Amino acid sequence: MNFVVRRLEARLVDYPVRQRGAIVSSLGRHESSRYLVVAAYGRDGGVGFGEATTAPIWSGESAETAQWMIDSLISPLVVGHSFDHPAEALAAVDRRLHGNSFAKSSVDVALWDLWARQQGKSVSQLIADRPPLDTIPTRVSIGCYPPEETVELAVEFWNAGVRTLKFKTGSPGVDDAARLAAVRQRLGDEPAFTIDANGAHATADEAVRAIEALEPFGLSLVEQPTRRDRLSVLAEVTRRIYTPVMADEAVFTPDELDEALDLDAFDVLSIYPGKNGGFTRSLAMAKKAQAAGKLCAIGSNLETDLGQAANICLAASLSAFPVEQYACDLMAALFYPASAVEPPLKFHAGRVAVPHGPGFGVAPRG
Ligand SMILES: [Mg+2]
């Protein structure tokens, strides 16, 4: 269905983040979320929403640079033009602007939301290749804290129903084996453990040593052990270790996915629209990874419920996401004291309820 964007609005918002247990990784501490709320106004009075969950260390963007890109470069390419599909608008932007994945994605998600609402449908109805799920299990991140605090956080999340614990690892001076051992001792064998070094290891040998020291504690997934720009090193680690490897920082774009598939560099792909530069791209990348025999899981840059809705839609709608095998980084309810949408997304027993309303099923609060 044809649509025209009358106006794009990108608004800066500072979301309070809980400070106890704030996510600390080898990249630093996530203690504030200055993001963008993007609204795409259609010609018929409809509106679609997106979110840019910017962090300079992650994609080289801040909320301010993303806002500038949207106002100055993206809006003139989108506003007032007629499109048959959101992918056409993203292609027009991609022809003129390299990188800036979170800025692009916030607009692309808002256009998908607008486009689906205009048809009176959920985005899931437009993309699903299986009956959409009602709930999705959450994987929660536990920062690089000493063993005692690591156990406290693990117990808190376990009591909230979360069954997959992702330990941030690889920070200098932190004894990751002691942390995982302490949590196993306290919670037993039932929780699934994954680790995420956020690219902390410079060489394959170093990464393999670090992983093999933690495998005795029972790992279901090893996420981005090596530097983001060294796919061949990631591929070597994937060949050498027993536990499945998930590519996160190493695969932002479709071209990076092609390269990673050529090198057989990973087993599982971390995917989400902000990182990939649009919902359109995530959709295509999930299908391509699946066709190559890989599995997908939702990653995160700590979206609020607003940004998370698009991530949920992917996981709930596509068979590329075996969510009971690999839980998804849908953590908003655990890290934001207040929801960014009204009504808040339901979080119960460690699982996020899938919104089934038009578009992505959410709208910003206030
Ligand atoms: Mg990660």
287 found inside a domain: yes
pLDDT in tens, 261-301: 999 999 999 999 999 999 999 999 999 999 999 999 999 99
Q: Are 149 and 342 in contact (CB under 8 A)?
A: no
Model confidence at 23, in pLDDT bands (50, 70, 90)?
confident
pLDDT in tens, 67-91: 999 999 999 999 999 999 999 999 9
362 found inside a domain: no
How much is the pLDDT for 1? 80
141 Cα to the center of ligand 1, angstroms: 9
**Residues 228, 253: one domain?**
yes
140 Cα to the center of ligand 1, angstroms: 11
Query: Average pLDDT, stretch 347-355?
Result: 97
361 found inside a domain: no
224 Cα to the center of ligand 1, angstroms: 6
**Number of domains comprising the chain:** 2
347 Cα to the center of ligand 1, angstroms: 22
**Residues 107, 180: one domain?**
no
**Residues 220, 293: one domain?**
yes
329 Cα to the center of ligand 1, angstroms: 9
For residue 366, pLDDT beyond 90: no
**Residues 165, 112: one domain?**
no
**CA 251, CA 267: separation in Å to the nearest integer?**
12
* Structure tokens given for 16: 């309070």
196 Cα to the center of ligand 1, angstroms: 6
> Among 61, 85, 120, which residue terminates a domain?
120
**Residues 31, 49: one domain?**
yes
**CA 319, CA 54: separation in Å to the nearest integer?**
28
**Residues 138, 89: one domain?**
no
> How would you classify the pairing of strands 245-247 and 268-271?
parallel
DSSP character string of 210-244: HHHHHGGG-EEEEE--B-TT-HHHHHHHHHH-SS-
Model confidence at 109, in pLDDT bands (50, 70, 90)?
very high
Strand order in the sheet with 33-42: 47-52, 33-42, 3-15, 82-83
68 Cα to the center of ligand 1, angstroms: 27
Please name the residue ranges forming H helices in the chain.
Answer: 56-59, 63-69, 75-78, 86-94, 101-118, 123-127, 147-159, 176-187, 204-214, 231-240, 254-262, 273-276, 279-291, 305-317, 332-335
184 found inside a domain: yes
Query: Average pLDDT, stretch 186-213?
Result: 98
